[in-house]
Copies of this chain bind each other. A is one copy, B any other.
């Protein structure tokens, strides 16, 4: 057992693989056990095992099966959340996320993105008024550093078939954090979470012995509450214009996703 380096916390472990005997299944069980052995509480959302329905439907907005009213996705899901009329599976996942100090999102990379069952967790659970929005009292925009999940941290842990160089800085598949920008920046950071550099296991189809992979993931889990996050720029401190563009004085003339990461040296949290 590793020495406990942080006070016990609660971790939501979100995973999505159709085969529990897969490498992903092995890593899930080993990683959860490793966290528990350190005293942390692990909430488990194994989406395939749960039979999670990833499809956002009118019922998510409180509409009946023969709704005559037009379903307005953002407005209606926000109202259903506010008024306690959401489907039970969505409300249960929201409770888990609220209880968690950290979110681990573990998946096989399919078509350079999340498996559908996992994408639909975000589509359905992170509704307006819960995961982002506007504070009704102050009018403050609740996202990025003002997001409702400030104080939580998030780690993406993924397997992929490509070899390591393909996701490196000049890799054909796109550098990993840029390829995952929609998840890391557009979802985790958007809702206020601190975003740890993702953990990726390339050439996953060729791995015969999972022990080294397990050890690699466990080392990252040891740093879940201490590792420095990706220093994405805050939105409301003058680095962006009100129309959501990087201000002229910040990396003037430059483009590309890396401009949204601060130049300042990273420090431990």
Contacts and interface: CB of A to CB of B under 8 A. Distances in A.
A77 B103 CA distance: 31
A199 B183 CA distance: 21
Interface string A91-134: 00000000000000000101111111101101100100000000
A187 interface: yes
Given A54-B55, A58-B18, A166-B244, A255 B172 contact: no
Given A257-B174, A257-B178, A257-B257, A111 B241 contact: no
A238 interface: no
Given A116-B56, A126-B111, A163-B244, A260 B181 contact: no
Interface string A160-173: 01110110111111
A19 interface: yes
A259 interface: yes
A54 to B, nearest CB: 4
Contacts of A120: 54, 115-117
A18 B256 contact: no
A263 interface: no
Interface residues of A, number: 65
Nearest to A131: B111
The complex is assembled from copies of this chain, and their number is: 2
Interface string A199-236: 00000010000000000000000000000000000010
A87 interface: no
23 contacts: A18-B71, A19-B58, A19-B72, A19-B73, A21-B70, A48-B55, A54-B55, A55-B116, A56-B115, A73-B108, A111-B122, A111-B123, A116-B116, A166-B245, A169-B255, A171-B246, A172-B240, A172-B245, A172-B246, A172-B260, A179-B182, A256-B258, A257-B257
| Top-3 shortest CB links A-B | A116-B120, A112-B186, A112-B182
